Structure 1
Amino acid sequence: MGARLASQAHWLGQAQVRGDLYRVSWYPALVSGEGLVVGDVYGIPERLWPELDHFEEADRADPEYRRLVSPVQLASGLWLDAWVYWYARPVKGLARISGGDWLNAPP
């Protein structure tokens, strides 16, 4: 999926969203919270959303993630509404990622 997005999506910049980040396994879980979580914002062609929803397991009766429009702030300071995948399952027992940055989280 990463290669597909790299070839067909347009990177808009790094951003932050209000929430908390947890380690599920080799991937993160973003949930509502008081912290700040950093990530990247991409412009994605409409035709890719069903494929991305399937990859994120957001298209199931019991989804792992839900894609919701959420306010994010770009590093430039600009606020915009973006589609964000929010973790839809309990985080009890999962390790919280201090600092909200998955790419710089310890293993």
Structure 2
Amino acid sequence: MPEGGIRHVFVYGTLRKGGRNDINRLAPAPKYLGMGEVKGSLYHLDWYPGLALGGEQAVTVVGEVYEVTRELEAVLDDIEGLVDGAHSEYFKRDLEVAVAGRPVPCFLYEINPSRIAGKEPIGHGDWIRFHSS
């Protein structure tokens, strides 16, 4: 883990710049590191998306990578509604995300598979593009 409890988050939906929950409006302020990509499928759940990592229909999902404090991480956990157990809407996952060709250890919020059962992915991996069309 980076010094001082600093972590990195990959945001792909409403937490992206210009999104409904834009991470840049939260405190303490995050530090933008760059764009990143993961393989998975995006699902339109309502006014927000859910990401399922990997899978047979995986596409390149784009997002932004930020350096965040543990304090901001707790705020993000609240926004994403994390709860203990199998009923949480999202689960926090750790993985490496390439940012400008360099692997950065990140966490992200993956949707609970029960929330996307029977739903079709949006077909590409850019929530901002999907949501603004």
TM-score by length of 1: 0.85
Other-structure match for 1:23:
44
Counterpart CA distance in 1 for 2:38 and 2:59 is: 8
Q: Which runs of 4+ in 1 moved over 3 A?
A: none
1:93 maps to a residue whose letter is G
**Which consecutive residues of structure 2, in runs of 5 or more, have no partner in the other structure?**
1-20
- The percentage of aligned residue pairs carrying the same residue is 29
Matched, 1:81 2:102: no
Other-structure match for 1:4:
26
Counterpart CA distance in 2 for 1:42 and 1:64 is: 22
Deviations 1:1-29 (A, max 9, x none): 53115x61011111001111111111010
TM-score by length of 2: 0.70
Give the drift of 1:60. Answer: 4.4
Identify, as 1 or 2, the structure richer in strand.
1
1:69 maps to a residue whose letter is D
